[in-house]
Each structure stands twice: as structure tokens, then as C-alpha cells.
Chain A
Amino acid sequence: MIWFAAKKVLGLVVTLVAAAAIVFVVLDLLPGVTSDQPALERFLRWLAGMLVGDFGTSASLGAPVGPLIAERLAVTLPLVALATLLAILIGGLVGLGAARRPQSIWAKAVMASARLGIAIPDFWLGMLLVLLFSLTLRWLPQGGFVPWQENALGALQSLILPGVAVAVPLGALLARAVYDAVVAAQGAEFVRAAQARGLTRREAMQRHGLRNAALEVLSRAGPALALLIVSAVVVENVYYLPGLGRLILDAVGARDVVLVRGGLAILIFALAGTMFLIDLCEAWADPRLRAWRPL
């Protein structure tokens, strides 16, 4: 396991450096940013700076990028956490529930709505939720954000609708993955063989079926889970949330290279990092991956 993790850490570092290089080179194409220093030196300086939290200074906002991003992450990260939790809850409950009786009308209806759920654009769902819960029912704020330190409950409230908007399409995708994997496990030869050894169907599923199904879900839906932050960044726009998304998109309009670069670096780090964690989870559950070693 240690060797597997070491290999994955190495892969993560290579990915991050390569991605940073691409971001740097592409943004370097913009006229006007070239200075007298050679590009390689500026790239390395940028990388080294990021390691200690120095992302440079934003031209459009006239402030250091590091604190700007940190401030915005205080909105985006809780949103991501909330949405992840909700998505797993929705996907797990719906998928497992439907898989209990895969042939029933109910299960078929639920899975058909899951297909619809996947097709709904997250940001449009966000708009629908605003229309229903904020503008019509007036239950929740329609947008904006009170900082955590001022009113933690209010902050959480303003994250509920965006959280749901992000979570539903992903939850639908998860539900399908869970459903397919569990139904496959229920029909698997090794589950039947476990019953033949003296387990009830339920025990056989718990001891042998579900672990295999979980692994299957992780490898099929893991990337989508990691991409949740992208969805969050988009949905922030619907609710005028001062998160990472608004920061980056405003920077694009202003052609603020330093800010775009820093924001993307954080986004890429989040993506690669989540994927790394998912890989570790997979290895933890799967002895076949765990066994890898270089020596």
C-alpha cells in the first residue's frame, strides 16, 4: 500500500507540474505580459512562489492573489463539501433503494428519473430552485453571501440551494452507477457461491457483493465526483456567491493573467488531489492494486 501511495504521489506531482506548465505557456501567449526575464525562470519562480502561498499580485484588483483565493475558497470549499455529501446521500439511497427490487415499477420509474436528472444542467436547476424557493415561496435567500464570521447560519443557508443544484445531477449519475453495480453483484456467481457456503442472500451481499459493487461505483463515478468542484464554480454564478468561480471568471473578462493563472492552479490542484484520494480509496478496497511495489 505504501508503495502504491508513493507511486501515486509521484504521479500527482508530475501531473501538477505539467499542468502548471501548460497553463503558464498558454497564458504567456497573451501580448504584453512578456518581460525581460526568460520564460523558464519566471515559470519556476511562479511554482516556487505558490509553494509558500505567494501567487503574485492581481493587476485588476491590485491585491495579492493568495489571500484573494483563500477568501473565495471559504465559500467554494464548503459548497463542494455540502454538495458532495448530498450527492452521495442521494445517489446511495436512490441507487440502493432501487436495486433492492430491480424489476419493480418503482425502481424503473426512479431510474428513468435518474436519466432525466443527469440531463439537467446544474445551473438551470439552480435557477429553477431560486424561482421556486426564493422568489415564490421566499424560504431561502436568492443569492449573495454573508461571511461565516458574521453569521454562520446565514452563510450555510445561502449554500443550501446551490448545494442542491450541484448535487442533484451528480446524485442521479451516482444513483445509476450504484444501481448497476449492486444489481450486477446480486447476480454475480461469487455471491451465489457464498450463499452456497451457508450465507443468506443478505449476508452474502453484505460480505462479498457490496464491497465489489462499491469498488465498481468508485471507478465509474469517481471522476465525476472529482469534477464536482467545476460544477460548483459554475453554480456560484447563479447565486452571486463570491467563490472561486466568480473570481476566475471576472479575471478572464479583465484579462488578469496572474489571477487566472493562480485560480486555475488551485482548481487543477483540487481536481488532481481529489482524484488522488479516490485512487487511494480504490487501492484500499482492492488488494490487487495494493500489492504493487517497485522493489
Chain B
Amino acid sequence: MALLEVKDLTVTFGGTPVLDAVSFAIGKGQRLGLIGQDGAGKSVAALALLGLLPDDAEQTGSLAFDDAPMPASERARAKLRGKRIGAIVQSAHQGLDPLRSVGDHVAEALRLAGQTGEFGPQVDAALKDAGLDGRGAQYPRELSAAERQLAMVAIALCGKPDLLIADEPAAGLDLVAQRQVLDLIARNCSERGMALLLISRDLRAVAMLCTRVAVLDRGRLVELGDKADVFGHPRHDHTRALMAAGRFRARTLMRTPIGGALLEVRNLVRSFRQADRSLFEPRPPLVALDGVSLSIRSGESIALTGPAGAGKSTLGRIIAGLDRASSGELEFDHDVYHGADLPRSHRHEISFVFDDPARSFNPALTIGESIAEPLRLQPQRPMEELSARIVEIVTAVGLAPEMLGRYPHEFAAGDRQRFAIARALITRPRLVIFDEPVAALDIFSRGELPVLLNRLRADFGLTYLVIAHDLDMIRVVADRVIVMDKGKIVATGTPAQLLDDPQEPVTRALAAAALPEVGIVPVF
């Protein structure tokens, strides 16, 4: 007996089909994962099930909930959402009314779920479950994007729904918070027998939470079956491709010889002034870096990781010369500096790759113009050498020089990130800093990037500092890992040492939050 039954669900926007005759069922207490790449129609499916499609969408097919057809009236549908179907919709972190406190939202959800009486304790309990203990009186803008996401999870679960439709419930969270959300959902499933439709591009989350898996490719359901079957013996090419992309296998054989110290960081402190709450309630400066010391040897690849707000990006930006340390000093190749005062003679030797290539290219300039920009750091070089170098680097990152005349918006995120890397390499730097290099990428480009990073490092003899929270990528690209927390370095070691045998609480939490890999090792 199915709780939710979907038959031939088809959705079109202005004649363009987004979902094409999708059929599946979720039994009571069953947990189905819906996977697929960006734009496959996953989120549209969630909205169609909830009855929240925009007006210009056309929907056909039949939906049934608890053996009754999904009610046609909007009110009855809303009531069903309130009482029995919980939902976390896409971009949930924007889903809070800016004028109401977080607790108000939870209370409203409880009321709509048909609960009566005093909501206070229930609100507190729901928020506590989501890791937002005592934050009920705060307003959405006082929460970080990650905390707002957690609040949305609490709101969706507080009414104890029979079915939860969760569209990327852990998007934008760091590893530990991500795990917290997944555990919370898992607990609801196991304790109350809640059924689940989990929509995600994170196969591991699906593997952890779900018993069955459905694969969506450009609006069509191409595979549906038990988790063990789908992940163990994927039948459809698209499933295989998705699984392969989620896995990093990028060890390079050739290794750069590791030399002497290239960069020394000594006792670095960076604090930011915060606006006072009031005249008599000054706020202490926010200490982003609190006495950080480290040393990077030439040829090394170091990963910098830790929870959100640990100071990773601040450190990277100071090293690159984008920001200035409050105190402490850096030494690059025997020259001392403090951040923004990085001597011009060294500027071309340190490069920085921003996390979001959509923001780091000027939309009004061609890709070629942007890539050539750093070349002014070496004006003495002859033109022919420089243009030959552009061609060489662009080819090295796997793109064609003919593309250089085009504009950034003509490229997909993955290619843009490759161009961003090309720009970083154009001056033949010695140290390259990557700030969350895969954060803005889709699942396929994400899988390719570590391979590219390792190859470039070997080919050009580079030293890397990679800021990342993706532990798998860290294992693949880093020789050494530095873990930061609250502006301090809390652990250093090889990936194997730190992640397989963690000692400090922060590292332990990180390692524990990581989800196991999915399926069998493919034979390439």
C-alpha cells in the first residue's frame, strides 16, 4: 500500500517539457532518493508533488496520497501539506519571512499541523533538535545562511509529517552541519516511520538515508530500484556517470620534488572591527585569525580545512596580498610582508583562484582579456612569449585558445573555473591558493577538477594551498592537511593521519561527519 503514488507525471513550461511521464511510488515508512544532475527536473518534481508549481507550468498525470487522489482544492492541498507532508523546498535559506522570528515560524508550522496548546516548549525542542538551541527569538537576518537552512529543516519536521519531501536539505552547510541535518532526518524516519523523498545531487546522502533510488535524466526517470541494485549494478549510463563523477580518483604518479620553505607565516592575527550594538555596548573586534603560524615548502600541496568561520579564507587572502594582517608577519622567498604590502616583484609568484568564477570574471571583458590581465606584472617579457604562454596555459587546463574571444557568461561554471585557473597560472606562479575550488561547480565538473589540479601541479611544479571542506578532494590533492577552528590551527598532518585517526575534537567531528563512498569501485 503506497503512501505516495505518482503516475505519468509530466510538467511543461511554455511547451518545454521539464518532466516526462515520471512514475514512482513511496510506501509507508519507505525512503526514496531522487538523484540527477542540475537541471534534470528534480526540484520541479518536488514542487509538483506539493502543488506549488508556478502558474505558467502545465501538469498532467495522476498523484495519489494515502490511497486517495491528491485533492484538487487548494485549501485541502494546503491542509495536507500542513498536517501530513513536510517539505523543504529549494533555496530554503531564503524561505524565512524577514519580519518574523524563527520561533514564530516554527509555531505557525505547529499550528498548521493541527497541534494545540502551548507551543513554547515544542518550539524550543524543535529548534534544539536542529542545533539552534535558544535561537527562537532571533530574526532571520541574525542567522547565517547555514543556520537559516537548519531552521527550515526544524520547521519542516516539527509537525511530525508522515512524508518529508526534502530538496537539497543540506545545501550550503559545512560537513558537520550537513551530517547533523541528515542525522535529524534519519532519526525521524527510524523513530516515527516517516517516509522520505530525498532530492539531492549528493549520492552519499541518498545512500545513507534512502532504501530506494530513482535516477532522473533530463526529465525522464531512467532507473528506479533498491539502493543496493542501483548503486551496486547501475544499469543506465547516466547512473554510472553520476556515480563516477562523485568519486575522486586522481592520484598522479609523477610527483613534484619537495624543496625548502617557500612561505613562512608567523603569528598572524587579523581582527575586524564590528559595529557597536550601542554607545555603551561596544562589541569586541571579531578575531578571524588568532596567532596562526605555518610553513609551506616548495612543491607541497597543503589543504586548509575546518568549520565555516574558522578563518581559512582570511588566511588565504592575506597570503595572496588581498588583505592585511593586524599583526604578525609572512615571509615569501626570504622577503617579509604583511599581506597587502606583498612586494611587486613577488606578485606574479603567488596566485589566487576565487571560489565562484561567475563573480571573478568581469562580465564586460572577454575571457582572453581577463586571462591576460596579470601579465602586466611581467612587462619586460616579449609579446610573442606572452601570447605563446596564454595558448599553452589555456590548452593545459583543457580548453581551446579559440574560446578566448568569448565572454564569461557564454561558458558553464566548470569551464569558467578552468579559465580562472588559467588566469592564475598565466604568470607562472610558484604558489597557487584555491578558495573552495569546487563549491560553485556541478557534479560532473566537480569530479574532474582534482584530476586537473594534480596534473597541473606536476606539469608546472606548483605549490598549492587548497581551502576546502570536501574531505575526499583533500585526500586526493593534498600532501598535508591543516585544520583550523576559530582562527587557530588545531591540527596538522597527512590526510591519512588526520582523517583516519583523528585526535582533536574538531578533526574528529569532521571525520565522523564524512559519509562513506557509494557503490563498488568502477573499473576504468
A interface residues with partner B (beta carbon < 8 Å)? 103, 188-190, 192-201, 203, 207-208, 211-212, 215, 285-288, 292-295
* B81–A193 CB distance below 8 A: no
**CB neighbours of B152 from chain A (8 A):** 193
Q: Give Cα A288–Cα B55 distance, bound, in whole angstroms.
A: 33
| Other A-B pairs, 4, CB within 8 Å; known A190-B94, A198-B81, A292-B278 | A190-B96, A193-B89, A198-B79, A212-B97
Q: Give Cα A98–Cα B102 distance, bound, in whole angstroms.
A: 32
* A203–B52 CB distance below 8 A: no
**CB neighbours of A285 from chain B (8 A):** 99
The 9 closest A-B pairs by CB, nearest first: A198-B82, A193-B95, A198-B112, A189-B94, A196-B87, A208-B97, A200-B78, A198-B81, A197-B109
Residues 71-120 of B at the A interface (beta carbon under 8 Å): 74-75, 78-83, 87-89, 91-92, 94-101, 105, 108-109, 112-113
Chain B's nearest CB lies how many Å from the CB of A1?
14
**CB neighbours of A207 from chain B (8 A):** 108
* B81–A195 CB distance below 8 A: yes
Q: Which residue of A lies closest to B93 (CB)?
A: A189
Chain A's nearest CB lies how many Å from the CB of B79?
7
Chain A's nearest CB lies how many Å from the CB of B275?
11
User: Known contacts A293-B278, A295-B279; is A198 also within 8 Å of B83 by CB?
Assistant: yes
Interface SS of chain A? helix
Q: Give Cα A293–Cα B80 distance, bound, in whole angstroms.
A: 43
Q: Which residue of A lies closest to B158 (CB)?
A: A197
Q: Which residue of A lies closest to B277 (CB)?
A: A293
Chain A's nearest CB lies how many Å from the CB of B50?
6
* A197–B99 CB distance below 8 A: no
* B99–A193 CB distance below 8 A: no
Q: Give Cα A292–Cα B96 distance, bound, in whole angstroms.
A: 22
Q: Which residue of B lies closest to A291 (CB)?
A: B139
User: Known contacts A211-B99, A294-B279; is A196 also within 8 Å of B94 by CB?
Assistant: no
**CB neighbours of A286 from chain B (8 A):** 99
Q: Give Cα A200–Cα B76 distance, bound, in whole angstroms.
A: 9
Contact of B52 (CB < 8 Å), options: A190, A195, A208, A293: A195
* A195–B78 CB distance below 8 A: yes
* A295–B94 CB distance below 8 A: no
B7 at the interface (CB under 8 A from A): no
**CB neighbours of A199 from chain B (8 A):** 78, 82, 112
**CB neighbours of B52 from chain A (8 A):** 192, 195-196
Chain A's nearest CB lies how many Å from the CB of B478?
37
* B95–A190 CB distance below 8 A: yes
Chain A's nearest CB lies how many Å from the CB of B92?
7
B280 at the interface (CB under 8 A from A): yes
Most buried by A among B97, B108, B141, B156: B97
**CB neighbours of B384 from chain A (8 A):** none
**CB neighbours of A292 from chain B (8 A):** 278
**CB neighbours of B80 from chain A (8 A):** 198
* B94–A200 CB distance below 8 A: no
User: Known contacts A195-B52, A197-B112, A286-B99; is A189 also within 8 Å of B78 by CB?
Assistant: no
B155 at the interface (CB under 8 A from A): yes
User: Known contacts A195-B52, A200-B78; is A287 also within 8 Å of B96 by CB?
Assistant: no
B402 at the interface (CB under 8 A from A): no
Q: Which residue of A lies closest to B75 (CB)?
A: A200
Q: Give Cα A194–Cα B334 distance, bound, in whole angstroms.
A: 58
**CB neighbours of A212 from chain B (8 A):** 97-99
B281 at the interface (CB under 8 A from A): yes
Contact of A197 (CB < 8 Å), options: B55, B94, B155, B279: B155
Q: Give Cα A208–Cα B99 distance, bound, in whole angstroms.
A: 8
**CB neighbours of B279 from chain A (8 A):** 294-295
Contact of A294 (CB < 8 Å), options: B79, B88, B278: B278
Q: Give Cα A52–Cα B402 distance, bound, in whole angstroms.
A: 80
Most buried by B among A195, A208, A215, A294: A195
**CB neighbours of B82 from chain A (8 A):** 197-199
Q: Which residue of B lies closest to A195 (CB)?
A: B52
Contact of A190 (CB < 8 Å), options: B79, B98, B159, B277: B98
Chain A's nearest CB lies how many Å from the CB of B141?
6
* B89–A192 CB distance below 8 A: yes
Q: Give Cα A190–Cα B112 distance, bound, in whole angstroms.
A: 16
* B81–A295 CB distance below 8 A: no
* A192–B95 CB distance below 8 A: yes
Chain A's nearest CB lies how many Å from the CB of B373?
36
* A196–B89 CB distance below 8 A: yes
* B81–A196 CB distance below 8 A: yes
Q: Which residue of B lies closest to A292 (CB)?
A: B278
**CB neighbours of A189 from chain B (8 A):** 89, 91-92, 94-95
Q: Which residue of B lies closest to A191 (CB)?
A: B97
Q: Give Cα A192–Cα B167 distance, bound, in whole angstroms.
A: 14
Q: Give Cα A203–Cα B50 distance, bound, in whole angstroms.
A: 16
Chain A's nearest CB lies how many Å from the CB of B447?
30
Residues 30-85 of B at the A interface (beta carbon under 8 Å): 50, 52, 55, 74-75, 78-83
* B50–A208 CB distance below 8 A: no
* B100–A197 CB distance below 8 A: no
Chain B's nearest CB lies how many Å from the CB of A150?
49
**CB neighbours of B281 from chain A (8 A):** 295
Q: Which residue of A lies closest to B83 (CB)?
A: A198
Chain A's nearest CB lies how many Å from the CB of B519?
32
**CB neighbours of A293 from chain B (8 A):** 277-278
* B96–A193 CB distance below 8 A: yes
Q: Which residue of B lies closest to A199 (CB)?
A: B78
Q: Give Cα A288–Cα B99 distance, bound, in whole angstroms.
A: 8
Chain B's nearest CB lies how many Å from the CB of A202?
8
Chain B's nearest CB lies how many Å from the CB of A5?
15
Chain B, 144-186, contact with A by CB distance < 8 Å: what is the 0/1 string?
0000000010011001000000000000000000000000000
Q: Give Cα A196–Cα B83 distance, bound, in whole angstroms.
A: 11
Q: Give Cα A288–Cα B139 distance, bound, in whole angstroms.
A: 8
* B139–A198 CB distance below 8 A: no
**CB neighbours of A295 from chain B (8 A):** 278-281
Q: Which residue of B lies closest to A214 (CB)?
A: B99
Q: Which residue of A lies closest to B139 (CB)?
A: A287
Q: Give Cα A199–Cα B78 distance, bound, in whole angstroms.
A: 5
Q: Give Cα A241–Cα B88 distance, bound, in whole angstroms.
A: 61
Q: Give Cα A195–Cα B108 distance, bound, in whole angstroms.
A: 11
Contact of A288 (CB < 8 Å), options: B91, B108, B141: B141
**CB neighbours of B94 from chain A (8 A):** 188-190
* B92–A193 CB distance below 8 A: yes
Q: Give Cα A285–Cα B100 distance, bound, in whole angstroms.
A: 10
